[in-house]
Amino acid sequence: MAFFAKARKKPDAASADADLGSVTLGDGQIVAIAARIDCLGDSCPRPQLMTRKALNNAAPQDVIEILIDNPSSMEAIPPMMPELNATHL
């Protein structure tokens, strides 16, 4: 699981439900998850594209949860965060 993928049919990859839960950061701060992107089962470059799209639609300080299980995407997404003005948690 990563914070900031079309082998099977999914109703909608992006979720903006009212209660997506929260995450505790390394400094102990608890922040709400603003959106969840389900890229499980998807291969490159879809997880990267969906991450980029979610971050373009996010407000400053939003936490976006990206669900991925593709090894190359898990390696590729964290290094692309600085170019998107985002931080990998």
Task: Identify the burial level of 77 via C-beta atoms within 10 angstroms of its C-beta, where 0-12 means exposed, 13-18 middle and 19 or more buried.
Answer: buried
Say if CB 51 and CB 21 are below 8 A apart.
no
- pLDDT tens per residue across span 6-27: 333 444 455 444 578 998 988 9
Say if CB 1 and CB 74 are below 8 A apart.
no
- pLDDT tens per residue across span 52-85: 999 999 999 899 999 999 999 999 999 999 999 9
All domains of the chain, ordered by start, with CATH?
2-84 (3.30.110)
Pairwise CA distance, residues 16 & 26, whole Å: 24
Task: Report pLDDT for 2.
Answer: 58
**Is the pLDDT confidence value at 46 over 90?**
yes
pTM of whole model > 0.85? no
Which residue type occupies 14? A
